[in-house]
Amino acid sequence: MNKYDELFKAYVAELREAKDNAEVWWDQLVVNEPHESVNLLSIKERWPFGAASHPWVIAVYRKYYLLCDELNKEFERNIAEIDEKRADDVEWGEDGDSDDDTIDLPRAFVIDRLNSDDNMDLYDFILSMVFVPIGLKDDEYV
């Protein structure tokens, strides 16, 4: 299992827990909302993306988006180091021993990779979040 697969496994576990907790929270909002006739409308005005609006969900999404971005930067540094070494090496043609031979785009990592039979509930859930809650990290846009 490569580093992206390990990171994705941790992401799925945390997202599933956040989803379950957010859905319980959402159900409680619906039950506790006064004036039944405007119930769902008033809730949707405050939380337009439903349970996926909860800060727990957004925090997990953002955490793994940024971790994937960091893993990509690490991968790119390793490739640069390997290329530098190969340029100085007499024995051209030797392959590296890395299992991480591709870069996952962070957006694809946190959304598209969920599109599987095992994670379809998470995929459908995260698609209800229609914005990318990333913003700034260390004063840089990511």
Tens-place pLDDT, residues 43-71: 878 888 889 989 999 999 999 999 999 99
65 within 8 A of 109, measured Cβ to Cβ: yes
**Token reading at 25:** 């929270």
N- to C-terminal Cα separation, the chain: 27
- pLDDT for the residue numbered 112: 94
Positive/negative CA dihedral, 23, 132, 130, 29:
positive
Q: Which pLDDT does position 101 carry in this prediction?
A: 56
pTM of the model: 0.77
